Amino acid sequence: MFQIDHLSIAVDALCIEKRATRASDWNGLAAAENNSGLYTWWVDREGAEALAGGLGVSLSRGLIYGGQAGATRWPSGTKSEQTLSGRIQSNHLSGTIRSSTFRRTLAAALVSELGLRVVPGRKAGLARQSEAELSKWMRSHLSLLVWPFADRDNLEQLEGKVLSRLDPPMNLRGMRSTPLRSAIRLARKNLSDASPSQVPVVDKINAKPSTKRGARSVTLHEEISEILISNGNRWMSTKEIAFWVNERGLYKKRDRSDVTGFQVHGRTRNYSKLFERDGQLVRLIRS
Protein backbone atom coordinates (compact mmCIF):
# COMPACT_ATOMS: atom_id res chain seq x y z
CA MET A 1 0.00 0.00 0.00
CA PHE A 2 1.11 3.56 -0.60
CA GLN A 3 2.30 5.59 2.36
CA ILE A 4 0.37 8.63 3.60
CA ASP A 5 3.26 10.91 2.65
CA HIS A 6 2.66 10.01 -1.00
CA LEU A 7 -0.77 11.56 -0.74
CA SER A 8 0.53 14.79 0.76
CA ILE A 9 3.38 15.04 -1.73
CA ALA A 10 1.06 14.40 -4.66
CA VAL A 11 -1.46 17.00 -3.52
CA ASP A 12 1.29 19.59 -3.01
CA ALA A 13 2.79 18.87 -6.44
CA LEU A 14 -0.51 19.09 -8.27
CA CYS A 15 -2.21 22.08 -6.63
CA ILE A 16 0.06 25.06 -7.36
CA GLU A 17 -0.96 26.77 -10.58
CA LYS A 18 2.15 28.92 -10.93
CA ARG A 19 4.18 25.74 -11.49
CA ALA A 20 1.95 24.60 -14.34
CA THR A 21 3.23 24.31 -17.90
CA ARG A 22 1.11 25.85 -20.62
CA ALA A 23 -0.31 23.24 -22.95
CA SER A 24 1.19 25.12 -25.91
CA ASP A 25 4.68 24.65 -24.39
CA TRP A 26 4.27 21.06 -23.25
CA ASN A 27 6.22 18.46 -25.22
CA GLY A 28 6.13 15.46 -22.91
CA LEU A 29 9.81 14.66 -23.42
CA ALA A 30 11.00 14.90 -19.83
CA ALA A 31 12.12 11.57 -18.40
CA ALA A 32 9.70 11.89 -15.49
CA GLU A 33 6.78 12.16 -17.91
CA ASN A 34 7.61 8.79 -19.44
CA ASN A 35 6.44 7.17 -16.21
CA SER A 36 3.00 6.50 -14.80
CA GLY A 37 1.54 9.12 -12.48
CA LEU A 38 -1.04 11.83 -11.87
CA TYR A 39 -1.84 15.09 -13.64
CA THR A 40 -4.05 18.16 -13.21
CA TRP A 41 -5.41 20.54 -15.84
CA TRP A 42 -5.86 24.28 -15.33
CA VAL A 43 -7.79 26.86 -17.37
CA ASP A 44 -7.17 30.59 -17.84
CA ARG A 45 -9.83 33.27 -17.34
CA GLU A 46 -10.91 33.47 -20.98
CA GLY A 47 -11.16 29.71 -21.22
CA ALA A 48 -13.17 29.50 -18.01
CA GLU A 49 -15.62 32.07 -19.36
CA ALA A 50 -16.08 30.05 -22.55
CA LEU A 51 -16.70 26.83 -20.62
CA ALA A 52 -19.09 28.54 -18.23
CA GLY A 53 -20.99 30.10 -21.12
CA GLY A 54 -21.46 26.74 -22.81
CA LEU A 55 -22.60 25.03 -19.62
CA GLY A 56 -24.71 27.87 -18.26
CA VAL A 57 -23.02 27.58 -14.85
CA SER A 58 -20.33 29.73 -13.31
CA LEU A 59 -16.71 28.50 -13.45
CA SER A 60 -13.60 30.32 -12.25
CA ARG A 61 -10.10 30.15 -13.71
CA GLY A 62 -7.84 27.57 -12.11
CA LEU A 63 -7.95 23.83 -11.53
CA ILE A 64 -10.62 22.06 -13.58
CA TYR A 65 -9.66 18.39 -14.00
CA GLY A 66 -7.34 15.68 -12.72
CA GLY A 67 -6.52 12.09 -13.55
CA GLN A 68 -3.97 9.29 -13.79
CA ALA A 69 -1.95 7.55 -16.46
CA GLY A 70 -0.73 3.96 -16.28
CA ALA A 71 -2.65 2.51 -13.34
CA THR A 72 -3.23 -1.24 -13.12
CA ARG A 73 -6.84 -2.01 -14.01
CA TRP A 74 -8.69 -3.48 -11.07
CA PRO A 75 -10.32 -5.87 -10.27
CA SER A 76 -8.87 -7.69 -13.30
CA GLY A 77 -5.27 -6.81 -12.43
CA THR A 78 -4.52 -5.98 -16.07
CA LYS A 79 -1.26 -4.08 -16.35
CA SER A 80 -1.04 -0.80 -18.25
CA GLU A 81 1.99 0.50 -20.13
CA GLN A 82 0.57 4.01 -20.51
CA THR A 83 2.71 6.97 -19.46
CA LEU A 84 1.97 10.56 -18.51
CA SER A 85 3.46 11.66 -21.80
CA GLY A 86 1.33 9.28 -23.83
CA ARG A 87 -1.86 10.05 -21.94
CA ILE A 88 -1.53 13.81 -22.22
CA GLN A 89 -0.14 14.03 -25.74
CA SER A 90 -1.95 11.18 -27.47
CA ASN A 91 -5.29 11.19 -25.64
CA HIS A 92 -5.75 14.75 -24.44
CA LEU A 93 -3.92 17.22 -26.66
CA SER A 94 -4.13 15.35 -29.95
CA GLY A 95 -6.65 12.58 -29.38
CA THR A 96 -10.39 12.39 -29.98
CA ILE A 97 -13.39 12.81 -27.73
CA ARG A 98 -14.04 9.09 -28.16
CA SER A 99 -10.71 8.28 -26.49
CA SER A 100 -10.60 10.96 -23.78
CA THR A 101 -13.16 11.70 -21.09
CA PHE A 102 -11.60 15.12 -20.55
CA ARG A 103 -11.78 16.07 -24.24
CA ARG A 104 -15.38 14.84 -24.32
CA THR A 105 -16.33 17.09 -21.42
CA LEU A 106 -14.62 20.09 -23.01
CA ALA A 107 -16.32 19.40 -26.35
CA ALA A 108 -19.73 19.17 -24.69
CA ALA A 109 -19.18 22.59 -23.13
CA LEU A 110 -17.66 24.22 -26.23
CA VAL A 111 -19.76 22.75 -29.03
CA SER A 112 -21.51 26.08 -29.68
CA GLU A 113 -18.59 28.36 -28.81
CA LEU A 114 -16.27 26.63 -31.29
CA GLY A 115 -18.92 25.52 -33.78
CA LEU A 116 -17.94 21.88 -33.31
CA ARG A 117 -19.61 19.37 -35.60
CA VAL A 118 -20.77 16.15 -33.96
CA VAL A 119 -20.41 12.82 -35.76
CA PRO A 120 -22.82 10.26 -34.30
CA GLY A 121 -22.10 6.57 -33.89
CA ARG A 122 -22.04 4.02 -31.12
CA LYS A 123 -20.24 6.76 -29.24
CA ALA A 124 -20.64 10.25 -30.70
CA GLY A 125 -17.44 11.88 -31.93
CA LEU A 126 -16.31 15.03 -33.70
CA ALA A 127 -15.40 15.60 -37.32
CA ARG A 128 -11.65 15.77 -37.93
CA GLN A 129 -11.58 19.55 -38.30
CA SER A 130 -13.59 19.98 -35.10
CA GLU A 131 -11.15 17.75 -33.18
CA ALA A 132 -8.36 20.02 -34.46
CA GLU A 133 -10.25 23.12 -33.32
CA LEU A 134 -10.70 21.62 -29.85
CA SER A 135 -6.98 20.79 -29.63
CA LYS A 136 -6.10 24.34 -30.67
CA TRP A 137 -8.40 25.74 -27.98
CA MET A 138 -6.82 23.50 -25.34
CA ARG A 139 -3.31 24.63 -26.25
CA SER A 140 -4.42 28.26 -26.08
CA HIS A 141 -6.24 28.19 -22.74
CA LEU A 142 -5.02 25.25 -20.64
CA SER A 143 -1.99 24.46 -18.49
CA LEU A 144 -1.03 21.28 -16.67
CA LEU A 145 0.95 19.78 -13.83
CA VAL A 146 2.24 16.20 -13.69
CA TRP A 147 3.50 14.07 -10.81
CA PRO A 148 5.25 10.74 -11.61
CA PHE A 149 4.38 7.75 -9.43
CA ALA A 150 5.95 4.39 -10.26
CA ASP A 151 3.64 2.15 -8.20
CA ARG A 152 1.08 1.33 -10.88
CA ASP A 153 -0.75 -1.19 -8.70
CA ASN A 154 -1.68 1.50 -6.16
CA LEU A 155 -1.95 4.46 -8.50
CA GLU A 156 -5.71 4.23 -9.00
CA GLN A 157 -6.36 4.26 -5.26
CA LEU A 158 -4.00 7.18 -4.80
CA GLU A 159 -5.74 9.04 -7.62
CA GLY A 160 -9.08 8.73 -5.82
CA LYS A 161 -7.67 10.19 -2.62
CA VAL A 162 -5.90 13.05 -4.43
CA LEU A 163 -9.03 13.98 -6.37
CA SER A 164 -11.03 13.88 -3.16
CA ARG A 165 -8.64 16.45 -1.68
CA LEU A 166 -8.36 18.69 -4.74
CA ASP A 167 -12.00 18.36 -5.90
CA PRO A 168 -11.43 19.40 -9.58
CA PRO A 169 -14.80 20.84 -10.65
CA MET A 170 -15.01 19.03 -14.02
CA ASN A 171 -14.27 15.53 -12.71
CA LEU A 172 -17.45 13.46 -12.46
CA ARG A 173 -16.80 9.86 -11.38
CA GLY A 174 -16.89 9.41 -7.63
CA MET A 175 -17.27 13.14 -6.97
CA ARG A 176 -19.98 14.94 -5.03
CA SER A 177 -22.85 16.45 -6.96
CA THR A 178 -22.64 20.16 -7.84
CA PRO A 179 -24.57 22.41 -10.27
CA LEU A 180 -21.53 22.41 -12.57
CA ARG A 181 -21.24 18.62 -12.62
CA SER A 182 -24.97 18.30 -13.28
CA ALA A 183 -24.59 20.73 -16.19
CA ILE A 184 -21.64 18.72 -17.56
CA ARG A 185 -23.61 15.46 -17.42
CA LEU A 186 -26.48 17.09 -19.30
CA ALA A 187 -24.13 18.60 -21.90
CA ARG A 188 -22.42 15.24 -22.44
CA LYS A 189 -25.79 13.54 -22.82
CA ASN A 190 -26.85 16.13 -25.39
CA LEU A 191 -23.61 15.51 -27.26
CA SER A 192 -24.29 11.77 -27.35
CA ASP A 193 -27.96 12.20 -28.27
CA ALA A 194 -27.36 14.40 -31.32
CA SER A 195 -30.64 14.24 -33.23
CA PRO A 196 -31.22 13.99 -37.00
CA SER A 197 -32.09 17.69 -36.99
CA GLN A 198 -28.55 18.43 -35.82
CA VAL A 199 -26.51 15.87 -37.74
CA PRO A 200 -26.15 15.46 -41.52
CA VAL A 201 -27.53 12.28 -43.04
CA VAL A 202 -24.07 11.39 -44.31
CA ASP A 203 -22.73 11.39 -40.75
CA LYS A 204 -25.13 8.59 -39.77
CA ILE A 205 -23.64 5.99 -42.15
CA ASN A 206 -21.12 3.33 -41.12
CA ALA A 207 -19.34 1.47 -43.88
CA LYS A 208 -17.82 -1.98 -44.08
CA PRO A 209 -16.02 -2.47 -47.41
CA SER A 210 -15.92 -6.00 -48.83
CA THR A 211 -12.84 -7.11 -50.77
CA LYS A 212 -11.39 -10.40 -51.94
CA ARG A 213 -8.77 -10.04 -49.23
CA GLY A 214 -11.41 -9.94 -46.53
CA ALA A 215 -13.65 -7.39 -44.84
CA ARG A 216 -12.19 -4.51 -42.88
CA SER A 217 -14.48 -2.34 -40.76
CA VAL A 218 -14.11 1.41 -41.21
CA THR A 219 -16.22 4.51 -40.65
CA LEU A 220 -16.77 7.04 -43.40
CA HIS A 221 -18.07 9.76 -41.12
CA GLU A 222 -15.16 12.11 -41.55
CA GLU A 223 -14.47 11.58 -45.24
CA ILE A 224 -18.13 11.89 -46.21
CA SER A 225 -18.53 14.96 -44.04
CA GLU A 226 -15.48 16.64 -45.51
CA ILE A 227 -16.86 16.13 -49.01
CA LEU A 228 -20.45 17.14 -48.29
CA ILE A 229 -20.22 19.52 -45.32
CA SER A 230 -21.22 22.53 -47.39
CA ASN A 231 -24.03 20.87 -49.36
CA GLY A 232 -26.78 22.65 -47.41
CA ASN A 233 -29.25 19.79 -47.78
CA ARG A 234 -31.91 18.97 -45.22
CA TRP A 235 -31.28 16.33 -42.58
CA MET A 236 -32.70 12.80 -42.75
CA SER A 237 -33.36 9.97 -40.32
CA THR A 238 -31.62 6.59 -40.59
CA LYS A 239 -34.86 5.00 -41.85
CA GLU A 240 -35.09 7.65 -44.57
CA ILE A 241 -31.53 6.86 -45.63
CA ALA A 242 -32.37 3.23 -46.45
CA PHE A 243 -35.45 4.21 -48.48
CA TRP A 244 -33.67 7.11 -50.18
CA VAL A 245 -30.67 5.04 -51.28
CA ASN A 246 -32.76 2.11 -52.56
CA GLU A 247 -35.12 4.45 -54.42
CA ARG A 248 -32.20 5.89 -56.39
CA GLY A 249 -30.97 2.51 -57.54
CA LEU A 250 -27.68 2.68 -55.64
CA TYR A 251 -28.22 -0.78 -54.17
CA LYS A 252 -26.20 -3.58 -55.80
CA LYS A 253 -26.23 -7.22 -54.71
CA ARG A 254 -23.46 -8.85 -56.71
CA ASP A 255 -21.10 -6.29 -58.23
CA ARG A 256 -18.24 -6.35 -55.75
CA SER A 257 -15.84 -4.36 -57.93
CA ASP A 258 -17.14 -0.93 -56.88
CA VAL A 259 -19.36 -1.37 -53.86
CA THR A 260 -19.36 -0.55 -50.19
CA GLY A 261 -21.42 -2.37 -47.57
CA PHE A 262 -23.44 0.13 -45.54
CA GLN A 263 -24.88 -0.62 -42.12
CA VAL A 264 -28.48 0.64 -42.15
CA HIS A 265 -30.73 -0.41 -39.25
CA GLY A 266 -28.29 -3.18 -38.40
CA ARG A 267 -28.48 -4.77 -41.87
CA THR A 268 -25.55 -4.79 -44.28
CA ARG A 269 -26.35 -3.86 -47.87
CA ASN A 270 -23.96 -3.25 -50.74
CA TYR A 271 -24.15 0.16 -52.36
CA SER A 272 -22.14 1.84 -55.07
CA LYS A 273 -19.26 4.00 -53.92
CA LEU A 274 -20.97 6.74 -55.89
CA PHE A 275 -23.64 8.45 -53.81
CA GLU A 276 -26.32 10.74 -55.27
CA ARG A 277 -26.58 14.24 -53.83
CA ASP A 278 -28.34 17.23 -55.41
CA GLY A 279 -28.79 15.23 -58.61
CA GLN A 280 -25.09 14.40 -58.83
CA LEU A 281 -23.06 11.36 -57.92
CA VAL A 282 -20.39 12.01 -55.31
CA ARG A 283 -17.53 9.59 -54.64
CA LEU A 284 -17.63 8.62 -50.97
CA ILE A 285 -14.25 7.03 -50.38
CA ARG A 286 -10.86 7.60 -51.87
CA SER A 287 -9.67 5.01 -54.38
- pLDDT tens track, the chain, 287 positions: 555 689 999 999 999 999 999 999 987 666 567 899 999 999 999 999 999 999 999 999 999 999 999 999 988 899 999 999 999 998 999 989 988 999 999 999 999 999 999 887 777 889 999 999 999 999 999 999 999 999 999 999 999 999 999 999 999 999 999 999 999 999 998 888 764 334 443 433 433 333 333 333 333 333 333 333 334 433 434 444 445 445 555 444 433 333 344 443 333 343 333 344 444 434 333 32
Rounded to whole angstroms, the Cα distance separating 121 from 217 reads: 14
Q: Structural domain of residue 27, as residue ranges?
A: 4-192
Q: Are residues 70 and 137 in the same domain?
A: yes
Q: Are residues 8 and 102 in the same domain?
A: yes
Rounded to whole angstroms, the Cα distance separating 165 from 247 reads: 60
CB of 104 within 8 A of CB of 65? Answer: no
Rounded to whole angstroms, the Cα distance separating 213 from 94 reads: 32
Q: Are residues 208 and 242 in the same domain?
A: yes
The alpha carbon of 128 is separated from its chain's Cα centroid by a whole number of angstroms, namely 11
CB of 219 within 8 A of CB of 127? Answer: no
Prediction pTM value: 0.68
Last residue of one domain, picked from the residues 192, 227, 246: 192
Q: Are residues 252 and 115 in the same domain?
A: no
As for how many domains the chain has, the answer is 2
* Residue from 90, 79, 87, 97 nearest 40 by CA: 87
Last residue of one domain, picked from the residues 136, 170, 192: 192
Q: Are residues 102 and 206 in the same domain?
A: no
Q: Are residues 169 and 259 in the same domain?
A: no
H-helix segments, the chain: 4-14, 45-55, 84-86, 101-110, 128-141, 152-166, 179-192, 221-228, 238-247
